[in-house]
Structures are given as structure tokens and as C-alpha cells.
Amino acid sequence: MKFHDRLRDLRVETDLNQKEFSHKIGMPYTTYNGYESGKREPDIETLKMLSNYFNVSLDYLLGRVDQRTFVIHKDNVDGHEIEYSLDKDKYPDGLTHEEVLEVLENFKKMGMDFSKFKKD
């Protein structure tokens, strides 16, 4: 799926037409229409804003993956706060949420350095 198709599908879910939606997000109608028609490409800041608005990952918005929602899990490892994202509907190998947390805990016990995942 292409970005403009994904954008249209997400906007349609809001039950707003292009003009109403562009007004709601504070974007000129002609700019938004260009994105949805595939005639224009948004910059990274616009992509982030749209991703946040629709509560989807950038990969989903860009049509690279089909999983749209993510669970953000925050943890503290050796005094460093870390965040990691996992698809809440489809964990690797069919693991449950609890099993994924157990795997991560085991990595910590083995001395895995999570500080490289730390977001400033």
C-alpha cells in the first residue's frame, strides 16, 4: 500500500472529508489534497504529526507494515529509562504480552545493555 492510499484510508475513518480534515489539523486544503492524491510528498515533521494524530507508526503510515497499533513499554534498567515498542496484536512467535515481558526481563538478567535504546 502506498502512503497516499494509507493516508486516505485513515482520514476516511475519521468521517471527515478532505477539507474538514485539513482544517482540523491546521493544514491548507491544497497541501493535504496533494498528499492524499499522491501529487505531493510530506516532509518528516508532517509525517510525524500525521503518525501521532492517527496513533500509528511511521512504518504503518508509509505502507511498509500492516500492524498499526503499538504498545509502548517503559522500564528502568540500571538507572536508565528505556522505551520499546511492540505490536500489541501480533507478538513474535505468538507470545503473549506477559511472555514478551518475561523474555525482556531475562535479557536484563543476562546483562544486556538497554542503554543504547534510551531516548533523550
110: pLDDT strictly greater than 60? yes
Nearest to 108 by CA among 70, 83, 75: 75
Residue-range domain boundaries for the chain: 3-61, 70-117
Report yes or no: 65 and 59 within 8 Å, Cβ to Cβ.
yes
Cα gap 56→52, rounded to integer Å: 7
The pLDDT > 90 percentage for the chain reads: 42
| Residue 29: per-residue pLDDT | 97
| Residue 42: per-residue pLDDT | 96
Neighbours of 56 (CB within 10 A): 19
| Residue 115: per-residue pLDDT | 66
pTM of the model: 0.59
From residue 46, alpha-carbon distances to 31, 43, 85, 86 in Å are: 11, 5, 21, 23
Q: Does domain 3-61 have CATH number 3.40.710.10?
A: no
Cα gap 49→83, rounded to integer Å: 20
Report yes or no: 69 and 13 within 8 Å, Cβ to Cβ.
no
Cα gap 84→70, rounded to integer Å: 10
At 76-108, the pLDDT tens digits run: 667 766 655 555 445 556 666 677 677 778 777
Alpha helices by DSSP H, 1-120:
3-13, 18-24, 29-37, 44-54, 58-61, 97-109
